[in-house]
Amino acid sequence: MTNKDTLYRTTEGPIKPFQFNQHVADVFPDMIERSVPGYPLTISMLSVIAGQYAQENSNIYDLGCSLGAGSMAIQQGLKTKMCKIIGIDNSPAMINLCNKNISQYTKVNKIHFELSDILQTTIKDASIVVMNFTLQFVPLDKRLSLINKIYEGLLPSGVLILSEKILFDDEIENNTMQKLHHHVKEFNGYEQLEIANKRDALEKILIPETLNNHQDRIKKAGFENSITWLKCLNFVSLIAQK
Ligand code: GEK
């Protein structure tokens, strides 16, 4: 049973900056599914990607794992391959819920959830590193060193999966995508007030960049290529191979 997200259905101000606290963790599946167009497909495709790119006896990282949806999809895609899946998040509320949920599912016992800052954590012997809508919450000036660290921690032919909300250089395209995203939220049951309050809360917390910015950074880190494998409005997912 997922709890319905009504956190921003309030006329009481001022709206506080967004935090991944217990209130958010408690409604997170509903929040992300109704807010991020294409999210369920992004998650289910992680099973396919894991099946294809996981290397035997390697590590697989899910950075900013929230409640572990990505880690669990990866686990399902591995079938008989032996890998260590490591889900990392710096929100105690998220990691506590991950550990509570995992004890109910013995089949996901190969996932290790860690409470830690992805800027501090070591990445090594990785065949896959997933950052599903996480880099956008990392300060801009820390993003290149994080992508560099991921590149260094990947095995030869290892892949980074990077999903992000993006901006567009073209003003008309940018406005169109933002409007359509707003309509998706409305269609999914959010009221105008909730949408406006959440936008205020996320300002300066979620910092999107253009696809070019991401591709340039990925290239600078040393990846041979980065391919957009999914795009839904202003949300994309890239695969970059070492
Ligand atoms: C999913 N990937 O369901 N260190 C660790 N975790 C962080 C950091 C950091 N420096 N910064 C942010 N986070 C998930 C969804 S949500 C995306 C990811 C969203 C964590 C933060 O605590 C949150 O759980 C997650 O990154 C971002 O596929 O809510 O739009």
In a domain, 141, yes or no: yes
Instruction: Tell me the pLDDT tens digit for each residue of 178-206.
Output: 999 999 999 999 989 999 888 988 899 99
232 assigned to some structural domain: yes
Domain count across the chain: 1
**pLDDT above 70 coverage of the chain, percent:** 97
Q: Does residue 7 fall inside a structural domain?
A: no
Phi, psi angles (nearest 5°) of residue 26? -65, -25
94 domain-assigned: yes
Nearest ligand 1 atom, CA 132:
2
The rounded distance, in Å, linking the Cα atoms of 148 and 188 is: 37
pLDDT one-digit tens code per residue, 5-35: 888 888 887 888 889 999 999 999 999 999 9
Is 9 a member of any domain? no
Q: What is the pLDDT of residues 92-130, one digit of tens each?
A: 999 999 998 887 665 655 799 999 999 999 999 999 999
pLDDT in tens, 39-87: 999 999 999 999 999 999 999 999 999 999 999 999 999 988 889 999 9
Instruction: Phi first, then psi: give them for residue 32, nearest 5 degrees.
Output: -75, -35
Tokens of 173: 């395209």
Is residue 16 in a domain? no
What are 105-114's pLDDT values in tens digits? 656 557 999 9
- Cα separation, 111 vs 84, whole angstroms: 7
Q: Which two tokens stand for residue 104?
A: 């109910």
- Give domain status of residue 78, yes or no: yes
Output the CA torsion sign for 158, 232, 197, 204.
Answer: positive
- Can you give the CATH number for the domain in which 212 is found? 3.40.50.150
Phi, psi torsion values for 3, nearest 5 degrees: -80, 145
Which residue from 7, 18, 20, 67 has its CB within 8 A of the most atoms of ligand 1, so it is best to mutate?
20
Nearest in space to 205 (alpha carbons), one of 133, 110, 115, 102? 133
What is the rounded CA–CA span in Å between residue 183 and residue 158? 37
115 in any annotated domain? yes
Q: Which domain holds residue 143?
A: 22-241
Residues with CB under 6 A from ligand 1: 20, 32, 64-66, 69-70, 88-91, 94, 117-119, 132-134, 137-138
